[in-house]
Amino acid sequence: MSYGRAVQITRILGLALAGLYSIAAIAVLLADRSTGQTVVGVTLLGSGALLILLGHHLSARSPVLAAAVVSVGAAVGAFPLIPLILPPIAATALIAMSFMLARQPTPAR
C-alpha cells in the first residue's frame, strides 16, 4: 500500500469514526437515561470525536503527536460503544493505521 493511499484510508476511517461518535453522542443525549449516564456518554463520545479530528489536523506538523491524539480519541470514544463490537474494531484499525503512518518517513514532494 502506498503512503498516499494509507493517508487517505486513515483520514476516511477517522472521519467516519468521528461522525459515528457524534451521532452516538446525540443518541445518548436523546435517550431516556439517568443524568449521570447521559453526561458520561456525551462527554466520552464528544471528546473522542474532537480528539480524532484534532489529531488529523495535527498530522502535517507532528505525525507522532497526531497518532497519539487520534489513538486517545479513538479509544475514549469507543469505550461507551463496546457492546456494539464494530466501533471498537474500527477504533483499533484507526489506531494501528495512525501509528503505521507516524513511523513511515514522509515522501518528498
Domain ranges of the chain: 3-103
What pLDDT, on a 0 to 100 scale, did the predictor assign at position 31? 87
What pLDDT, on a 0 to 100 scale, did the predictor assign at position 50? 96
What pLDDT, on a 0 to 100 scale, did the predictor assign at position 1? 73
What pLDDT, on a 0 to 100 scale, did the predictor assign at position 108? 63
Q: Residues near 14 by Cβ (< 8 Å), separated by ≥ 6? A: 52, 53, 55, 56, 70, 74, 94, 98
d(CA 4, CA 109): 12
Residue 80 DSSP symbol? G
How many residues appear in the chain? 109
Residues lower than pLDDT 70 in the chain: 106-109
